[in-house]
Amino acid sequence: MEQQSSSEGAKNQSDETDYQAPKSGSTLKKQLNLLLIALSFFTRIPVPSWVEFDSEKLNQASRYFGVIGLLVGSLSAAVFWASQFVLPNGVAVILAMITGVLITGGFHEDGLADTADGFGGGWKVADKLRIMKDSRIGTYGTLALVLCLLLKWQLLVEIALYSPINAVIAIVVAHGLSRVLAGSIIFSGQYVTEDDGSKSKPLAQHQHINDLLILCLSGFVVLACLNGVIAFGLLLLLVLLRQVLIWGGNRQIGGYTGDTLGAAQQIAELVCYGAILVIGLH
């Protein structure tokens, strides 16, 4: 009996150990799952079939939007750095921009065009939302997209004239910080949609304070790698821009949509390039 009791005790202890051991592993797997959800949502990069998707996980995945931005920026910057050795800076910048569009599928650029069409062509909120979910692009969207891409190209070419490495840093920084800004709007804004038939993919509609803090942490890590002047300048500009974008979204449609977040990312990316060009990275 004592032997049996001892054996059962050992078994129970073993079972307890088996139950507790996966906790750290399961936490890491959960975070990896959230990271891959963010990756699949914002890029065309394939993810493993075991990744679990649902609306709550998508909300939590917003914490890694900045990390995905850094990945996209790093790949785009790598293309620029490699191509500028054999091609003019202007061509190298275009190749870097094409790389970013191919990786994301033009996800944010589409949001910018739809937002411009909706805000420019609609009078009532319902009209704006209806126009924004239309797959066709209008005059306002075309102008916004063309001018945004031209300005992005020109700013990066000017930065590269000072130093190609400055352009590399600018691409990575702007992609990362712009997605942090866009993702943080989810915490403060109200998600709005005309109906369930929207052409947009499902979007994170709520953000817990922990998700916001992790998201902002990725942005602060980027800023910490820059010198104090440019870091402070970028932080100040992006905080002000965030408030303006939230105010604009509330005024136009009463909150945000996936399209307005895409527009926010594109605008924030331009602001980052402009600030880096004016303030400099030295």
Domain residues for the domain of 240 are 56-279
Are residue 142 and residue 82 in the same domain, yes or no? yes
pLDDT in tens, 25-46: 688 888 999 999 999 988 999 9
- Residues 94, 110: Cα–Cα separation, whole Å: 18
Residue 176 tokens, joined: 């990362």
Q: How many domains does the chain have?
A: 2
pLDDT in tens, 250-280: 999 999 998 999 999 999 999 999 999 998 7
**Closest CA relative to residue 272, chosen from 216, 228, 224, 231:** 231
pLDDT of 188 reads: 87
Are residue 64 and residue 40 in the same domain, yes or no? no
Q: Considering 51, 75, 92, which residue would you say is the last residue of a domain?
A: 51
- How far, in Å, are 137, 139, 147, 151, 262 from residue 116 at the CA level? 10, 9, 12, 16, 11
Are residue 156 and residue 262 in the same domain, yes or no? yes
What is the radius of gyration, based on Cα positions, of the chain?
A: 22
Are residue 27 and residue 127 in the same domain, yes or no? no
- Residues 223, 275: Cα–Cα separation, whole Å: 13
Are residue 20 and residue 65 in the same domain, yes or no? no
The phi, psi pair for 172, rounded to 5°, reads -65, -45
Are residue 258 and residue 224 in the same domain, yes or no? yes
- Residues 247, 140: Cα–Cα separation, whole Å: 20
Beta-bridged to residue 187, according to DSSP, are none
Are residue 135 and residue 250 in the same domain, yes or no? yes
**Closest CA relative to residue 43, chosen from 65, 11, 22:** 65
pLDDT in tens, 131-154: 888 888 889 999 999 999 999 999
pTM for the model: 0.85
- How far, in Å, are 154, 243, 249 from residue 181 at the CA level? 23, 10, 14
Are residue 41 and residue 116 in the same domain, yes or no? no
Instruction: Name the pLDDT band for 122 (thresholds 50, 70, 90).
Output: confident
Contact indicator for 190, 256 with CB cutoff of 8 Å: yes
pLDDT at 24 over 80: no
pLDDT at 7 over 80: no
Are residue 78 and residue 180 in the same domain, yes or no? yes
Angle at which helix 209-224 crosses helix 228-253, to 10 degrees, equals 140
pLDDT of 135 reads: 83
Instruction: Name the pLDDT band for 18 (thresholds 50, 70, 90).
Output: very low
Q: Considering 32, 51, 70, which residue would you say is the last residue of a domain?
A: 51
Are residue 141 and residue 262 in the same domain, yes or no? yes
Are residue 124 and residue 95 in the same domain, yes or no? yes
Are residue 106 and residue 194 in the same domain, yes or no? yes
Instruction: Name the pLDDT band for 204 (thresholds 50, 70, 90).
Output: low
pLDDT: is 6 or 226 the higher one? 226
- Residues 171, 152: Cα–Cα separation, whole Å: 10
Please give the average per-residue pLDDT across 191-215, as a whole number. Answer: 70
